[in-house]
């Protein structure tokens, strides 16, 4: 915690406790004491936009009728959205070589080419687009499939970026060059735009994972990576149990590396680093 006197805006421990309590109640994100400076930096940007002079003033604004629509802005400011194309690349290998290969076998057996994948906590879209690239590469007859990738996040700013599908070339540095070439086109300022065919595979939706999940049906694959890490153990365990319920028998769950323990305890088969499979197929 650095000296309060150096700060552009007044920010007290009481302000910190108020905002971290609110964020925990609304999103499940735990902002412990060592996040004091991080919270300040993120709030400062919002205070400047609103022309306010202290966090206390911001809290008063938030609680007033004028601030009734402020909650999404506060949540957007408090989420951590770090992501990359093909982050933890071995998950995409397992997706292509094991999970999608199994879906192709099931489709032949059942006479139904249906695929449902969920990217839960999709941030700016790099994860669901990496999934879409893997799907398009693994299923040459993709147009014959009823395939859908649901991509959800609580952060509306990130969802807007995800829907636009425009990224700096450097964001795709970890994408296999052949995939990058096939599924993006050049845009001004050294940017790349995602191919419309991939965009059409994805439905981006705002969803708070703590709330009810308003979709019927179950998933062949769920990605929820580097999201649970911000929650406490109880919330993590409850969410993983809900993911397991939403998976089809034989379906795959991919978690972040530091979140693997929650998967191990959920009675899933461990099929690789932070990769799990539901039994019963």
Ligand X SMILES: C[S@@+](CC[C@H](N)C(=O)[O-])C[C@H]1O[C@@H](n2cnc3c(N)ncnc32)[C@H](O)[C@@H]1O
Which residues belong to the active site? Answer: 42, 153
State in angstroms the smallest separation of the CB of 51 from ligand X: 26
Does residue 276 contact residue 266 with C-beta atoms inside 8 Å? Answer: yes
Looking at residue 268, the DSSP 8-state letter turns out to be P
Site for ligand X in 236-275 (CB under 6 A): none
Does residue 144 contact residue 108 with C-beta atoms inside 8 Å? Answer: no
Among 20, 79, 99, 184, binds ligand X (CB under 6 A): 79
Residue number, 47 or 78, with CB nearest to ligand X: 78
The C-alpha atoms of residue 155 and residue 123 are separated, in whole angstroms, by 7
Cα-only R_g, the chain? 21
Site for ligand X in 157-216 (CB under 6 A): 158, 207-210
Residue number, 29 or 136, with CB nearest to ligand X: 29
Residue number, 47 or 239, with CB nearest to ligand X: 239
Nearest to 206 by CA among 61, 97, 92, 76: 76
Residue 127 touches ligand X, criterion: CB under 6 A = yes
Residue 42 touches ligand X, criterion: CB under 6 A = no
State in angstroms the smallest separation of the CB of 6 from ligand X: 29
Residue 27 touches ligand X, criterion: CB under 6 A = yes
With contacts defined by CB under 6 A, how many residues of the chain interact with ligand X?
Answer: 24
Does residue 223 contact residue 254 with C-beta atoms inside 8 Å? Answer: yes
Residue 83 touches ligand X, criterion: CB under 6 A = yes
């Amino acid at each position: 915690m650095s000296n309060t006197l150096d700060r552009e805006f007044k920010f007290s421990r009481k302000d910190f406790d108020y905002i971290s309590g609110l964020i925990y109640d609304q999103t499940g994100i735990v902002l412990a004491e060592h996040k004091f400076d991080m919270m300040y930096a993120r709030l400062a940007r919002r205070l400047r936009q609103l022309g306010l002079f202290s966090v206390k003033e911001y809290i008063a604004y938030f609680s007033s009728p004028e601030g009734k629509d402020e909650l999404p802005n506060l949540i957007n400011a408090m989420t951590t959205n770090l992501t990359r194309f093909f982050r933890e690349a071995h998950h995409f290998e397992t997706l292509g070589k094991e999970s999608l290969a199994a879906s192709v076998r099931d489709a032949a057996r059942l006479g139904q080419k249906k695929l449902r994948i969920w990217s839960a906590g999709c941030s700016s879209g790099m994860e669901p687009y990496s999934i879409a690239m893997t799907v398009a590469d693994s299923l040459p007859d993709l147009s014959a499939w009823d395939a859908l990738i649901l991509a959800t996040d609580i952060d509306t700013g990130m969802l807007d970026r995800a829907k636009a599908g425009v990224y700096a070339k450097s964001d795709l540095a970890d994408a296999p060059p052949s995939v990058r070439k096939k599924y993006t086109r050049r845009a001004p300022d050294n940017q790349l735009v995602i191919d419309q065919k991939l965009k059409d595979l994805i439905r981006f939706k705002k969803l708070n994972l703590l709330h009810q999940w308003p979709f019927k049906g179950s998933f062949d694959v769920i990605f929820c990576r580097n999201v649970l890490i911000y929650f406490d153990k109880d919330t993590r365990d409850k969410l993983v149990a809900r993911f397991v319920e939403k998976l089809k028998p034989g379906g795959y769950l991919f978690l972040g590396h530091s979140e693997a323990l929650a998967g191990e305890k959920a009675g899933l088969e461990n099929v690789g680093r932070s990769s799990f499979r539901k039994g019963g197929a």
